[in-house]
Amino acid sequence: MNNHVTVLEIDGKALEHNLNYFKGKLQTATKVLAVVKAFGYGSDGVQVARFLEHKVDYFAVAYTHEGVALREAGVQTPILVLHPHLQNLQAIIDFQLEPGLYNFTIFNAFLKLTREKSLDQYPVHLKFNTGLNRLGFSAAAIPEILMHLKAPTALKIQSLFSHLAASEDAAEKAFTSNQIEQFTAIKEAVCAALAYTPMLHLLNTSGVVNYPQAQFDMVRIGIGLYGFGNDKKETAQLKNTHNLKSIISQIHPIAPGETVGYNRAFAAKAATKTATIPIGHADGLSRRLGNTKGFVRIQNQDAPIIGNVCMDMIMVDVTHIDCNEGDAVIVFNTQEMIQHIADISETIVYETLTAISPRVHKTLKT
């Protein structure tokens, strides 16, 4: 049992608010795929999926074991595995997951496996590369793909999809528009040869905001679910879902001239009172937040982090805060605090959220 006193509370009401905000931007028939990879962006993918199961049409995970965890938790909604690997293909079938096939190595291996098992119309998703140059078939691969899909086939193309490279960047509008055009051409070439029409999906969170004309049949909402819209105006319309909390383990009086922490990074110039908090870089707190660059909140007041961030602990200055051992500590509970941590850490909120360690206890509250 995880009884770490540092806890991440996931706000279910905020999740639902954010989901409904993006649904409000969609056409009536457009489906929603919720991205719950990477432990639900640092929260808890299983708890988030169970909460959203009857509110969305699909889930997406990065790797097979993430999808297995959802199935073992009782989630029945279709699950797209975005980045399957050869050694996991049997598990995909065992747990009724749907692989995203992105090259002929994985495509041929999965086709062979489904034929060996005499499966019929197993749902798969074809990913095409339109400019991100990360995963995906090229448009030139379409004839060979179609050759393998001639009836009878063990596979059914559930969807065609691609991934935008810079949908949040207004300066890259021409590039993104070109990606949309490429995807449309790929869709036309593939669908013309099939006796059915697969679902189409291209847009991520920022794509939903900036390219409503390209909603196709489904959109994928990732970071937007968790309170960030890659744009200050959009983020202001969303609610924070991640609330990271801890407690004060010990309070120390520090005399002038005494030092605190590894490498004696903090030296007291005057009488100081410090509080030790059980969270450190092993819990996902960047070392760049040390030496007063970062802070936590105690009794609604900012307490600067002093000295170096330790693996399991931080020390904060509470000289002017009336507090006691055992009192609550807010590491972050607003979008602004998360963004501040990301800025000081010289990274993006995606990394700040997904850095939260699995050893931190996670609980979803509604």
The per-residue pLDDT for range 147-165, each reduced to its tens digit, is 998 867 799 999 999 999 9
| Distance of alpha carbon 75 from the chain centroid | 18
The per-residue pLDDT for range 176-204, each reduced to its tens digit, is 999 999 999 999 999 999 989 999 999 99
Burial class (CB in 10 A: 0-12, 13-18, 19+), 152: exposed
The per-residue pLDDT for range 30-77, each reduced to its tens digit, is 999 999 999 999 999 999 999 999 999 999 999 999 999 999 999 999
Classify 21 as helix, strand or coil.
helix
Give me the phi and psi of 40, to 5 degrees please. Answer: 60, 50
Percent of the chain having pLDDT more than 90? 97
Give me the phi and psi of 221, to 5 degrees please. Answer: -110, 115
| Domain boundaries for CATH 3.20.20.10 within the chain | 12-232
Q: What is the pLDDT of residue 149?
A: 87
What number of other Cβ atoms are within 10 A of residue 271's Cβ? 11
| Distance of alpha carbon 312 from the chain centroid | 24
CA dihedral over 52, 56, 60, 65, signed as positive or negative = positive
Q: What is the pLDDT of residue 153?
A: 79
Q: What is the pLDDT of residue 200?
A: 98
CA dihedral over 289, 319, 331, 16, signed as positive or negative = negative
Kind and range of the H or E run holding 20: helix 12-23
Average pLDDT of the segment spanning 198-211: 98
* Topology of the domain comprising 242-365: Lyase, Ornithine Decarboxylase; Chain A, domain 1 (2.40.37)
Q: Which CATH class is domain 12-232?
A: alpha beta
| Domain boundaries for CATH 2.40.37.10 within the chain | 242-365
